[in-house]
């Protein structure tokens, strides 16, 4: 780390809600937020945002004639970005950059426009500008009337944490003092879920906990998709209103063994976690918020990587058993969980796991995310 970086705000939208108090309350119960959804000729477990929040998103859509043609990924990003900069005390005249990513992008609109094209043999006028990945950050910049650099990207499931890395890099380069970073995802569409089912990784069992992320005894893949977004305000230095400090970061890729998998011992995670730790002892880490998608190989390989770096692994957790895998937004939602645990000094466990050693105090939390093929990121967070 060249300079300490403060997290001065986090705003999210997910099946847990939108307010920090409600989100924290729901993390403390043992309920999951999955239900069966009809998708064309079949059903699948999903984790959706609530009907009350959908009403708020629809009100946002109707608030501006230009917003009526936008995909939910963009609207979720606008909604959470407004709340994040308000929380941080920023305004449009501040010189802050924006980097918001998404794994799938405007998948609902893309599927709709493509179906229209097949039926009419003609593309709709707005089919291109509203489905390009870059339209997420661009529309957020428009809505906030910001003046700084605007970046969009997709690095699959580690997208949001790569946005954090970009924000750190811009701040450390002295090209920006502030950066709004995060991810947005609305993947609960027939084609997207169909793709996951084709990979044979989608959960389909009606049991108490449909997604068994981090349960190494499971015999079936149990990944389930959720939707949501999370935006994080980064600022140079240790700020008075800091919710947490980024005290380390790491990243790595590895040679592909398969189109979707990482190596058996997740070499990419081993390298990213080592880099994030820097000169710290592994024993300094109190909790790891794991990527843990709920697949047999994905969960097992990440745990093997942790065991390779930590002689005695710290407390381990994930939120995917509760809200599903939100693809490009998942890393930012994991960071939100980490910050909440730091603030409230309480560990959020996974209810079906064997009892872990619970940390008495929480000073540092490591957050992991990885995308298809081994694009791993690890972010180390500390109390202010």
Q: Return the bridge partners of 19, or none.
A: none
Query: What pTM does this model have?
Result: 0.97
Round to whole Å and give the CA distance between 61 and 68: 5
The whole-number pLDDT of residue 261 equals: 65
Closest CA to 319 of 221, 232, 214: 214
For residue 258, the model assigns a pLDDT of 61
DSSP, res 130: T
Tokens of 353: 């796991």
164: its two tokens = 């954090």
CA pair distance 216, 248, nearest whole angstrom: 28
Q: What is the pLDDT of residue 93?
A: 81
The vertex-360 CA angle with 355 and 361, nearest 5°, equals: 130
User: Which residue intervals of the chain are DSSP H helices?
Assistant: 20-27, 51-62, 72-88, 107-120, 135-144, 159-172, 190-198, 267-277, 296-309, 320-323, 330-344
CATH of 5-382, one of 3.40.47.10, 3.30.70.3340, 3.40.50.10420, 3.40.50.2300: 3.40.47.10
Q: Which residues pair with 89 in a beta bridge?
A: none
pLDDT at position 225, please? 98
Query: What dihedral do alpha carbons 332, 366, 212, 102 form, nearest 10°?
Result: 20
Residue 88's pLDDT is what? 98
Residue among 299, 302, 247, 250 at smallest CA distance from 271: 250
pLDDT in tens, the chain (384 residues): 578 999 999 999 999 999 999 999 999 999 999 999 999 888 999 999 999 999 999 999 999 999 999 999 999 999 999 999 999 999 878 889 999 999 999 999 999 999 999 999 999 999 999 999 889 999 999 999 998 999 999 999 999 999 999 999 999 999 999 999 999 999 999 999 999 999 999 998 888 999 999 999 999 999 999 999 999 999 999 999 999 999 999 999 987 766 556 888 899 999 999 999 999 999 999 999 999 999 999 999 999 999 999 999 999 999 999 999 999 999 999 999 999 999 999 999 999 998 788 999 999 999 999 998 789 999 999 998
Q: How far apart are CA 333 and CA 39, in angstroms?
A: 26
Q: Quick one: pLDDT at residue 356?
A: 85
Output the pLDDT for position 1.
59
For residues 88 and 100, what is the distance between their CA atoms, to the nearest angstrom?
A: 17
Q: Is the dihedral of CA 273, 276, 279, 283 positive or negative?
A: negative
The token pair at 321 is 């058993």
Q: Which tokens go with 98?
A: 């924006």
């Amino acid at each position: 780390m060249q300079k300490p970086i403060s997290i001065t705000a986090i705003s999210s939208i997910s099946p847990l809600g939108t307010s920090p108090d409600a989100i924290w309350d729901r993390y403390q119960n043992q309920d999951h937020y999955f239900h069966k959804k009809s998708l064309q000729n079949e059903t699948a477990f999903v984790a959706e945002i609530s009907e009350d929040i959908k009403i708020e998103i629809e009100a946002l859509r109707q608030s501006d004639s230009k917003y009526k043609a936008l995909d939910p990924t963009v609207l979720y990003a606008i909604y959470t970005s407004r709340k994040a900069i308000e929380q941080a005390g920023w305004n449009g005249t501040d010189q802050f950059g924006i980097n918001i990513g998404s794994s799938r992008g405007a998948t609902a609109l893309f599927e709709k426009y493509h179906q229209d094209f097949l039926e009419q043999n003609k593309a709709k006028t707005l089919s291109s500008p509203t489905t390009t990945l870059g339209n997420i950050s661009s529309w957020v910049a428009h809505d906030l009337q910001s003046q700084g650099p605007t970046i969009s990207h997709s690095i699959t499931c580690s997208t949001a944490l790569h946005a954090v890395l970009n924000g750190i890099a811009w701040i450390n380069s002295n090209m920006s003092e502030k950066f709004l970073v995060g991810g947005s995802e609305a993947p609960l569409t027939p084609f997207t879920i169909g793709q996951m089912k084709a990979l044979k990784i989608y959960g389909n069992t009606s049991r108490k906990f449909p997604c068994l992320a981090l349960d190494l005894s499971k015999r079936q893949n149990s990944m389930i998709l959720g939707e949501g977004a999370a935006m994080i305000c980064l600022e140079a230095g240790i700020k008075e209103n800091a919710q947490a400090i980024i005290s380390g970061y790491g990243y790595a890729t590895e040679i592909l063994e398969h189109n979707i998998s990482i190596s058996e011992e997740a070499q990419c995670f081993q390298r990213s976690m080592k880099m994030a730790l820097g000169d710290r002892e592994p024993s300094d880490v109190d909790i790891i918020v794991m990527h843990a998608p709920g697949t047999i190989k994905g969960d097992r390989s990440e745990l093997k990587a942790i065991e390779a770096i930590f002689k005695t692994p710290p407390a381990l957790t994930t939120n995917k058993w509760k809200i599903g895998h939100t693809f490009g937004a998942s890393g930012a939602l994991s960071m939100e969980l980490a910050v909440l645990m730091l603030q409230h000094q309480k560990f959020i466990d996974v209810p079906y796991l064997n009892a872990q050693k619970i940390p008495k105090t929480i000073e540092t939390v490591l957050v992991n995310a990885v995308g298809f093929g081994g694009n791993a990121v690890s972010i180390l967070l500390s109390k202010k």
